[in-house]
Amino acid sequence: MEVTMMGKLLVFLVSLNILSSIVHAVGPPTCPADIGSSCSDDEWEGEFFPGIPKIKYEGQNSKNPLAFKYYNAEEEILGKKMKDWMRFSVAFWHTFRGSGADPFGAPTKYWPWEDGTNSVAMAKRRMRANFEFLEKLGVEFWCFHDRDIAPDGKTLEETNRNLDEVVALAKELQQRTEIHPLWGTAQLFMHPRYMHGAATSPELGVYAYAAAQVKKAMEVTHYLGGENYVFWGGREGYQSLLNTDMGRELDHMASFLEAAAKYKKKIGFNGTLLIEPKPQEPTKHQYDWDAATAANFLRKYGLIDEFKLNIECNHATLSGHSCHHELETARLNGLLGNIDANTGDAQTGWDTDQFMTDIAEATLVMLSVIKNGGLAPGGFNFDAKLRRESTDVEDLFIAHISGMDTLARGLRTAAKLIEDGSLAELVRKRYMSFDTEVGAQIEAGKADFEYLEKKAMELGEPTVPSAKQELAEMIFYSAL
């Protein structure tokens, strides 16, 4: 009896396995990893984010996590609409290619629309998801790396064809909306060919390949109506000076950027070229360490009128500065072009790319932006990603809503400080000794040392007043 029952059970299990195989075989096809596949992305039906409505402004008393509390796009602050101060952009790479993987763990994010491949068809499906996300979030800009939106091919020619196919879809989706790229860029750091750098590689073939890749990426950005083009030299630096000709590498990088500026004009691209400083990671030392270093490099090589800077807040802290410092350095040099809005963790020593949630930091950022008269044609790109442990689709919206509200609250607070005038008055009084005839001579560059020595003897021992730092901090934090 037991043998008969066991036999029946075995037959049942085998039959179930066969049935499962048949069902799997006749089920809906998925796109294979072969990027040459003819698999279509039309198999996805319906919304990518069902149940997520278009995000609206509900005011600061709202408890709805899928609503803005401080960002009201059409509201005017200091004579300009909030959306025009902000010009928010979504980073395609973090939002749609971020997997949650880290050096110690496998990916944690498996979005419903992903099929596990890196096919052109999958790339097109992601692009459709991107535009639905942008429309529901109410954002008019997006940013991309070329290799994030379309896969590499076996040759440069095949890779360019892949990119063209995905870009054609992006163009079609843009024409139905007011959405277009804030900026585009070329991914010159992930592929093994770039392990020694791109524009600073010691291999001529790599330098040429990088130029061809930037050429194509710039053409695509121009075709899609992008307003800027970014250069982030993640591997433009060194691990050791013992095997590095730093002078030659810097000269090569300058020649590369000069060629890019010339090509921009040749194709009629009127967008701003932006350099994004970062001190290190993945290299031990990156050549555009911070805003001051990048500005000096541009001046030395006669490129100061061709480029501006894209300041990333997390990069600022990695270089030992505050984001406010880097923004002011860029602004005072006439180079503030765009902001990658993110932040780092004070207890972590790497680029964590978190969404900004600190209202004080956001207020300082917005004080610089207001002094700059805005960022256009740049804006705020959310170069920020979900934490590894955040794995729900709605988390993508919640994170961006939080980041947008934080900067909006910073704008409101900065406007309050400017309209109050107390902080500006404190600063004015601190330098009022220069609002004199002698001060005017100094600031005009007309006061030589003999003249100043004479004035020092006339004025006698100077009385040095208090800096009132605590009062300045009181005024600032009271506004929060």
Do residues 279 and 319 lie in contact, with contact meaning Cβ atoms separated by under 8 Å?
Answer: yes
CB burial class (10 A; 0-12, 13-18, 19+) of residue 460? exposed
DSSP-based three-state secondary structure for 394: helix
408's enclosing H/E stretch is helix 393-420
Say how far apart CA 342 and CA 321 lie, in whole Å.
14
DSSP string for residues in 225-280 = T-SEEEE--TTSEES-GGG--HHHHHHHHHHHHHHHHHHHHHTT--SEEEE---S-
CA distances from 242 to 198, 428, 449 (A): 19, 50, 45
> Cβ of 401: how many Cβ atoms within 10 Å?
21
Give bridge partners of residue 141 from the DSSP assignment: 89, 180
Say how far apart CA 45 and CA 153 lie, in whole Å.
28
Query: Which residue has 């800009």 as its token pair?
Result: 141
DSSP-based three-state secondary structure for 312: strand
Is residue 145 annotated as a catalytic residue, yes or no? yes
Closest to 324 (Cα-Cα) out of 2, 201, 332, 9? 332
Do residues 381 and 183 lie in contact, with contact meaning Cβ atoms separated by under 8 Å?
Answer: yes
Say how far apart CA 21 and CA 12 lie, in whole Å.
14
Catalytic residue among 145, 196, 315, 321: 145
- How wide is the angle at C-alpha 14 spanned by C-alphas 12 and 18, nearest 5°? 115
Catalytic center residues: 145
